[in-house]
Structure 1
Amino acid sequence: MIEIVELPELVCIGYEIEADWQDLATLMPKLWQRLFAADTGATSFLEVSSEPAEGRFRELVGFLAAGSTEIPDGMTKLLLPARPYLRLHYEGPLSGIASGFQRLYDHAAASGQRTGDLKLDFGYTPGLTDTRHELHVALEPQPLLLG
């Protein structure tokens, strides 16, 4: 089931890269391994993705943190403002996550909702096992309709 949820401000800390789409399949598992090997004490992991330029993606693999959390060496802190998202619970192999995001985009298009380029994927675990994921696509503000 796809639903609209309002997420609060999120503080994310992790490793960030920018790469072409075709390189992500090789780079992302290595970045996750690096994060899981770091001694952060984190238990809630996510991937934050955006497409700042055609065909290139900015990815952060990290964890949710309090605003006062110290940033470990080599990591980046990313502050995401509160906003609405489309959400889908996905269960299946990691290789199917992209199709889950496509379902969200197709739903938005069919229902006339405007999406941004920000995506969130909660549910990663050490070992990159096939676990339940929460996929989110940011919604853009809808224009006011005057009647």
Structure 2
Amino acid sequence: MIEIVELPELVCIGYEIEAERQELPALMPGLWDRLFAADTGATSFLEVSSEAEEGRFRRLVGFLAARSTEIPDGMTKLILPARRYLRLSHEGPLSGIASGFQRIHDHAATTGQKTGDLKLDFGYTPGFTDTRHELHVALEPQPLLLG
């Protein structure tokens, strides 16, 4: 079931890259390996995706943290403001995550909701086990209508 959720401000810490879409499949496994090898104390991980500019995409693989968390060497802190998202729970193989995001985009188009380019994928674990993932696609802010 796809639902609208409001997430609070999120502080994400991790490794970030910017690359062309076709480069991502070769680059992402190494980024995840670096994250899982780092001594962060985190047990739950996420991927933050956005379009940096036309044809180039930004990915951050990391974990949620408090604002005051020290940033480990080589990592980046990304603060996402509170906002609304469309959310879908994905149960099954990791290979099905892309189709889960497509379902969210199809739902938004069918229901007339405008989405942004920000996507969140919570649920990664070392070893890439087929665990439950929470997929989120950001909704564009709605204009305030004064009547």
Calculate the TM-score normalised by the size of structure 1.
0.95
Q: CA deviation at 1:21?
A: 1.2
What are the Cα deviations for residues 114-145 of structure 1, in whole angstroms up to 9, with x where unaligned? Answer: 11110000000001121110000000112345
Runs of 4+ with deviation above 4 angstroms: 144-147
Q: Which residue of 2 aligns with 1:44?
A: 44
CA distance in structure 1 between the aligned counterparts of 2:93 and 2:26, rounded to whole angstroms: 17
Kindly report which structure 2 residues correspond to 1:104-143, keeping only aligned pairs within 5 A, or say none: 104-143=104-143
Kindly report which structure 2 residues correspond to 1:67-146, keeping only aligned pairs within 5 A, or say none: 67-145=67-145
Q: Which residue of 1 aligns with 2:7?
A: 7
- SS of residue in 1 equivalent to 2:96: helix
CA distance in structure 2 between the aligned counterparts of 1:84 and 1:11, rounded to whole angstroms: 16
Give the AA of the match of 1:46: L
Report the RMSD for the aligned CA atoms in angstroms.
1.2
CA distance in structure 2 between the aligned counterparts of 1:34 and 1:99, rounded to whole angstroms: 26
Give the AA of the match of 1:136: H
- SS of residue in 2 equivalent to 1:113: coil
CA distance in structure 1 between the aligned counterparts of 2:122 and 2:44, rounded to whole angstroms: 8
Q: Which residue of 1 aligns with 2:20?
A: 20
The answer to whether the 8 Å contact 1:113/1:142 transfers is no
Q: Any unmatched runs of 5+ in structure 1?
A: none
The count of corresponding residues between Structure 1 and Structure 2 is 147
- SS of residue in 2 equivalent to 1:123: strand
What are the Cα deviations for residues 87-109 of structure 1, in whole angstroms up to 9, with x where unaligned? Answer: 00011221221111111111111
Give the AA of the match of 2:133: H
Q: Does 1:54 align with 2:54?
A: yes
CA distance in structure 2 between the aligned counterparts of 1:65 and 1:71, rounded to whole angstroms: 10
CA distance in structure 1 between the aligned counterparts of 2:141 and 2:85, rounded to whole angstroms: 11
Q: Any unmatched runs of 5+ in structure 2?
A: none
Q: CA deviation at 1:59?
A: 0.2
The answer to whether the 8 Å contact 2:18/2:52 transfers is no
Moved more, 97-106 or 1-10: 97-106
Q: CA deviation at 1:146?
A: 5.8
Calculate the TM-score normalised by the size of structure 2.
0.95
